[in-house]
């Protein structure tokens, strides 16, 4: 079945970087992109960006421009989200979702908790 499996929880200090992975299986990996969404504790969903299955022209939310990089490793069917210069308000669960285009999302990963604490 179609599945996205994300990497485990991370604890980082302010100013550090984090890299979250999202491994796809059960579908033609390069035919779909990945959307990244985050959810701060007790808050709603926030769209962060989308990258195509061809790993070209990722589209980032303006809020994260300059601090985020989304990449695709086709041989391993894995997508990555890197967020730099972490702040305490980056503490959140980060989700990946299979997405044919930026406004799409059908299958979701289980989420990765990133905690930013001194």
Partner 1 sequence: QAVVTQEPSLTVSPGGTVTLTCASSTGAVTSDHYPYWFQQKAGHAPRTLIYDTNNKQPWTPARFSGSLLGDKAALTLSGAQPEDEADYYCLLSYSGARPVFGGGTKLTVL
CB of 24 or CB of 109, closer to partner 1: 109
Q: What are 105's two structure tokens?
A: 């999302």
Which run of H or E residues covers position 96? strand 92-99
Closest of 37, 12, 11 to residue 22, by C-alpha: 37
Name the minimum Å distance from CB 89 to partner 1: 17
Note the residues at the interface with partner 1 (CB under 8 A).
37, 44-47, 49, 59-62, 95, 97, 102-111
CB of 5 or CB of 16, closer to partner 1: 5
Name the minimum Å distance from CB 110 to partner 1: 6
CB of 15 or CB of 83, closer to partner 1: 83
CB atoms within 10 A of CB 53: 19
């Amino acid at each position: 079945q179609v599945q996205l499996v994300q990497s485990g929880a991370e604890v980082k200090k302010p100013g550090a970087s984090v890299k979250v992975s999202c491994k796809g299986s059960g579908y033609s990996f390069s035919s779909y992109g990945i959307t990244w969404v985050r959810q701060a504790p007790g808050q709603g969903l926030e769209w962060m960006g989308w990258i195509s299955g061809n790993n070209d022209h990722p589209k980032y939310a303006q809020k994260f421009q300059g601090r985020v990089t989304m990449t695709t490793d086709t041989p391993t069917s894995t997508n990555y989200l890197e967020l730099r210069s972490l702040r305490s308000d980056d503490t959140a669960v980060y989700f990946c979702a299979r997405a044919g285009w930026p406004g799409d999302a059908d299958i979701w990963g289980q989420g990765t908790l990133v905690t930013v604490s001194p």
